[in-house]
Structure 1
Amino acid sequence: MTTFRCAMGRRFAALLVGGLFCAGALAAAGHEHLNPEAASGRMARAAAYASHYMASTANPWATRAAADILARGGAAADAAIAAQMVLNLVEPQSSGIGGGAFIVAFDPRDGGVLTYDGRETAPAAARAGRFLRAGEPMDFHEAVNSGRSVGVPGVLRALWRLHQAQGRLPWAELFQPAIHLARAGFPVSPRLHALLAGDRDLPRQAAAARYFYGPDGRPWPVGHVLRNPALADTLARIAREGPDAFYEGPIARDIVAAVAAHPVPGDLSLEDLRDYRALERAPVCMPYRVYRLCGAPPPSSGPLAVLQILGILAHTPIARAAPESPQAAHWFAEAGRLAYADRDAYVADPAFVEVPVAGMLDPAYLAARAALIRPGRSMGRAEAGVPPAAPPRPGAGRGLEPPSTTQVSIIDAWGGAVSMTSSIEGAFGSKLLVRGFLLNNQLTDFSFLAQDARGRPIANRVEAGKRPRSSMAPMLALRDGRVALAIGSPGGSAIINYVAQTLVGVFDWGLGLQQAIDLPHVGSRNQATELEAGTPAEALAGPLRALGHEVRVGEFPSGLQGVQRLPDGRLLGAADPRREGLALGG
């Protein structure tokens, strides 16, 4: 078991001095072009196997912290908290305490699945025209890099609720790996360096520039030991006092001040922070093959859309198609069009909009949607359907979702499991650094327009206190009362396709989890059919065009992290080769 334990204390310092990384070296940085998280290179990942517990996260430091907590008798809930605090430090472009999360957790004591909604909320002062100028949507880049984009962070309140329900180790103990690493420092990875080098807005924010860049204005080089004593102090206070230390008092005042001091100020208030509540929700679930799949419900559209895709594909011959064949890509893309059309039309914060979840997963409805797919011709753009008991059709609106998010998947020694997707939205969020952590830009996930061209109100429009729609899709697959798979991914709105394709790979094509994660990405978000650049998927372009598909080839930087229980009881952990993740167990 000690083979996989996190290096802490003197062992931890020795790793830093030696510049060593755990097994599964960091992915080589590629040229970042189509989006800030895209990496042109892949690094092969070998699946990890263990008998008792397994953790898979987006960064080796976070995985080691999670594995150490599990080795010391911690539950999956405890390990997820430790991992998230380390990710805040070593993967600051993606997630942290200044952002939000959706968590799906399995409690082995009663066999129940619960979800925790730590999605950010709009401030009480938010109004529909927040991202409009002269009645027109402002430039997305401009909207992101402003105080207006910052929502009330939710991840700490969600993790606190998770810990209260399922934690085994003391709350304060779970912060120690991140606190130690923040003080001792960690080597800048190739990926972090590449993202810093490619970001033109982060250096314009004074606090962020002082931390992420050297005196010459250049990003810290690969291997530079980056220390964050401000974050260490922040985490130490939260460890001692609980999440109230973040939502009230000096930390809260500094968050509000930073948002107000931006040249384009926001309206986040102390009352917004004080009044934030993470919500416990029943999961959205559906049977598929011999499994029961469960995920976070709205305001996340992710698991609902994944389940729609799978429910539609169950009426097609995709299981008999070769995984990387044109016909498999055709069926998968067409199912994606139908699911994304429903998502755009119906899904938003259920406190503000009636979301017809049961109708969208109704077997007869999914069979009718599947009947719209023609074997030999693409439908082009799909229209939203009318699920049973659907409310009057709202207007469809799209919010842009940059892919800077992270995934943690864990199964512990008791059979407990956590799948958590967390985010600060775009790369480095709003670029506002406060007390060592970055604030999110999640409010740009709202539709910038309040109504469509026909005057119908858009479900995902900005409203005070509302949670923006998300595509985050943390999911668990259960079989015979146990968790068989914990999975999720970053990737903006493409998360839905990433997770659905992986599940098809495992459950329909019989691939190993690592093989399924490694598959070249294909899919459609109800626009062009997308093929992953630099992979065998590019060869599908011609055959798909012959079927009437509009094809786009580009970077699709998923970051799938998964843990699977094998038939013999062992645990298999897998990490996406497109990022720097790692799976470890014991």
Structure 2
Amino acid sequence: MSSNLFRLALSSAFVLPLSAWGFSYEAPAVTPEVGSGFEEKPGWENEHFAVAAANPLATDAGFQVLKAGGNAIDAAIAVQMVLTLVEPQSSGIGGGAFLMHYDGAQVQAYDGRETAPAGADGNLFLENGEPLPFMDAVASGLSVGVPGVLRMLEAAHAEHGALPWAELFVPAITLAEEGFPVSQRLHTSLANDEALRQDPMAQHFYYDEEGEPLAVGEMLRNPALAAVLRQIAEQGSDAFYTGAVANDIAMRVQHHPVRPGSMTTEDISSYTAVEREPLCTPWDQWEVCGFPPPSSGHLTVMQILGMQERQPLREAPLDSGVPSASWLHQFLEASRLAFADRGRYIADPDFVAAPGGDWASMLAPDYLDQRAQLIGEQSMGSSAEPGNPGELGTAWAQHPDQPEYGTSHISIIDEDGNAVAMTTSIEQAFGSRILADGGTNLAGGFLLNNELTDFSFEPEIDGEPVANRVEPGKRPRSSMSPTLVFDRDSGELVASLGSPGGAAIIHYTASTLEALRDWGLNAQEALNLPHAVTLGGDVTLEEGRFSEATIAALRERGHTVKEGELTSGLQAIVRQSDGTLFGGADPRREGVVMGE
């Protein structure tokens, strides 16, 4: 269809009005709150249902869907579509997601992770035999994986949805057509990003003629995204994976001006979402259910928590309301050991076998006993080595250190007790910095992910292959940790939670679980706690949140400590003992919880 004909098809005479789809959505007359820095939040208590998401407009979309008779899956779809519009730096239809779902009887794990194109191989990020600089790889066509979130959400909706698919797009289409106020967080992200300005379409859409980012509160309309979402609403996900939208994605990847990628329309049309067996792990009175590989989240979180349980508690975990030096030392040392295993063993299970043939081998009690015994009074620093949880058919090399970024999280519990924990991502802020308009020739569109930079840039180390190396059709390893928690005695749902934050998602999720179970904190209090992270080397403490005495105590134990921003985006909804739902949203971002 020519651009003129496409514009004609979008005119009011030819477009089905949103009211005809049956869902009466009212755009809220509110401006998203400030999302930079740390802003105290009260926590929210509700009796019947709750939605927690990273932007108030997205939360409200899920809330209105639930009020209209939708369920947790329906609400998650509406939230994701609005996040594509209002939080484009973190997630969207150009990326992927992991979704944990509970329907009152069973837990399911829906995998919408991106895949490598057929033309990608282990040399994807090598230039003259050397790994590319990370940002050179990110802001390129090389980094774009085949998006998976729409296929995955459609599969989940086909099995569990209550409202018609099309109606779930009404909030996002309405906001895209009528406009929404730019939030502080989006403004700040735009101001801090130089690479996005290199994409001509993105530069024109998100910046003014002087190169200044859109101002806070400025109304932003996205007609291209509205048009694409209309097609998907009316035709299903095929409207994205075939036809003009798929052609546009492949064209933009293949014609990147500096480093084009190989993605074809065949790569896009052949994408398949996968339902995987969730990993559910006993943890004292709770059973924690999380995502299996290609996510490293659940395995690494539960390794940390398992080793923590095996340590003698030498002092209270909280000191003046923040984690104590003793607790931090044990948590960080357990993290070093868990991340060593993660780097050696975890990758796409369709390409890499689990140690001993079963991922649960990494959480076996005897194995965690052995690993926990390695934690002493002094830090092991960067010397942590992977263990041997089971026999391997291939000897894997240790994954080299690489940055990980991005992401957003959604938690929902509906009135019938159905629950969703969904972590969704385009990886780095603004992904590959490639804006696609879906062939509409209209302003705006959606950003394409850079998830392939989650693969190892080096396919082998010292002659041994890296498990998480690039291979055609493979899904890159992720840290996303969408989590559902149950009471082991009653089987009742206890919580839905998760966070963005790259590899630090694992630390954020693990420490929150421990705070919720053991420290007597409600969801908001747990999310307010300061963070501490190590991937095996230096320790980063959340800037300005720990005392000099705590920092000194960690250094005395041999940790190399620095302070920095640790911008989690935790969302958590916890069922309290009286049956009510208490939700928390991360004070470091602009999210809220809504419900009744």
Map Cα deviations across residues 487-521 of structure 1 (whole Å, 9 max, x no partner).
10000011000000100111122211111111110
Letter of the structure 1 residue corresponding to residue 484 of structure 2: L
Pairing partner for 2:458 from 434, 446, 449: 449
Cα displacement (A) at 1:530:
2.0
Quickly say closer, same or farther: Cα 1:117–1:320, change in 2 above 3 A.
Answer: farther
1:277 match: 272
Counterpart mapping for 1:81-92 below 5 A? 81-92=77-88
Code of the aligned partner of 2:512:
T
- Report the CA distance between 1:12 and its aligned residue: 2.3
Distance (Å, rounded) in 1 between the aligned partners of 2:163 and 2:491: 25
* CA–CA separation in structure 1 for the residues paired with 2:48 and 2:317: 34
Aligned equivalents of 2:336, 2:225: Cα separation in 1: 42
Matches of residues 7-46 of structure 1 in structure 2 within 5 Å?
11-12=26-27, 15=29, 20-21=30-31, 25-27=33-35, 29=36, 41-46=37-42
Residue of structure 2 in register with 1:97 after alignment: 93
Alignment of 1:354-433 (within 5 A): 354-356=353-355, 357-374=359-376, 376-381=377-382, 382-398=384-400, 400-433=402-435
Q: CA deviation at 1:482?
A: 2.2
Mapped pair 1:576 → 2:575: no
- Alignment: residue pair count: 556
Report the CA distance shift for 1:164/1:45 in structure 2 as closer, same or farther (over 3 A). Answer: same
Say yes or no: does 1:553 pair with 2:555: no
1:11-67 Cα shifts (integer Å, max 9, x gaps) = 527x1xxxx337xx332x3xxxxxxxxxxx200011101111001000000000011
1:263-319 Cα shifts (integer Å, max 9, x gaps): 111100011001100100011121012111011100010111001111111111349
**TM-score if structure 1 supplies the norm length?**
0.93
Tell me the distance in 2 between the aligned counterparts of 1:401 and 1:53: 37
% same residue: 51
Report whether the alignment pairs 1:544 with 2:554: yes
| Per-residue deviation, 1:388 | 2.9
Distance change in 2, residues 1:191/1:426 (3 Å): same
Instruction: State the alpha-carbon separation in 2 of the partners of residues 256 and 282 from structure 1.
Output: 32
Shift of 1:403: 2.5
Whether the 8 Å contact between 2:27 and 2:171 is mirrored in structure 1 is: no
TM-score, with normalisation over the residues of structure 2?
0.91
Residues 333 and 82 of structure 1: CA distance in aligned 2, closer, same or farther (over 3 Å): same
Shift of 1:127: 1.4
**Counterpart in 1 of 2:525?**
515
**Conserved in 2, the CA contact under 8 Å of 1:402 and 1:427?**
no
- Partner in structure 1 of residue 482 of structure 2: 474
Q: How does 1:232-247 map to 2 (within 5 A)?
A: 232-247=226-241
Structure 2 CA distance, aligned partners of 1:285 and 1:171?
30
Per the TM alignment, residue 72 of structure 1 is displaced from its structure 2 partner at its CA by 1.5
How many angstroms does 1:222 deviate by?
Answer: 0.7
Moved more, 84-93 or 189-198: 189-198
The yes-or-no answer on 1:202 pairing with 2:196 is yes
| Secondary structure class of the residue paired with 1:496 | helix
Give how far 1:389 is off.
3.7
Q: Distance in 2 between matches of 1:399 and 1:462?
A: 15
Question: 2:592 and 2:497 mapped to 1: Cα distance?
Answer: 14
| Cα distance between partner residues in 2 of 1:313 and 1:455 | 35
Equivalence for 1:3: none
1:252-331 correspondence runs (5 A): 252-263=246-257, 264-318=259-313, 321-323=316-318, 324-331=323-330
Q: For the Cα contact (< 8 Å) 1:96–1:424, is it kept in 2? A: yes
Whether the 8 Å CA contact 1:502–1:517 is kept in 2: the answer is: yes
Counterparts in 2 of 1:491-510, with a 5 A limit?
491-510=501-520
For 1:450 and 1:344, locate their aligned partners in 2 and report how far apart those are by CA, in whole Å.
13
Three-state SS of the structure 2 residue aligned to 1:421 is strand
* Structure 1 unaligned spans of 5+: 1-7, 30-40
* Match of residue 69 from structure 1: 65
Q: Aligned partners of 1:319, 1:101: CA distance in 2, in Å?
A: 39
1:564 to 562, 574, 595: 574
Q: Match for residue 33 of structure 1? A: none
The correspondence for 2:469, drawn from 441, 461, 464, is 461
Q: Distance in 2 between matches of 1:42 and 1:353?
A: 41
Output the CA distance in 1 between the equivalents of 2:110 and 2:255: 32
CA shift at 1:322, angstroms?
A: 2.5
Change in 2 beyond 3 A, CA 1:445/1:538: farther
Q: Secondary structure at the match of 1:126?
A: coil
The aligned residue for residue 449 of structure 2 is 440
Alpha-carbon distance change, 350 to 43 in structure 1, aligned in 2, over 3 angstroms: same
4+ runs of 1 displaced by more than 4 Å? Answer: 8-11
Match of 1:141, SS state, is helix
Residue 79 of structure 2 aligns with an amino acid whose one-letter code is A
CA distance in 2, matches of 1:117, 1:10: 29
**Cα distance in 2, alignment partners of residues 534 and 579 from structure 1:** 17
SS in 1 for 2:486: strand
**Which residue identity does 2:325 align to in structure 1?**
P
Contact residue 332 and residue 523 of structure 1 kept, 8 A: no
- What RMSD, in angstroms, separates the aligned Cα atoms of the two structures? 1.5
Deviates more, 1:209-218 or 1:347-356: 209-218
10 and 121 in structure 1: CA distance in 2 versus 1, 3 angstrom threshold: closer
Quote the Cα distance in structure 2 between the aligned partners of 1:303 and 1:422. Answer: 15
Secondary structure in 1 aligned to 2:162?
A: coil
Amino acid at match of 2:148: G
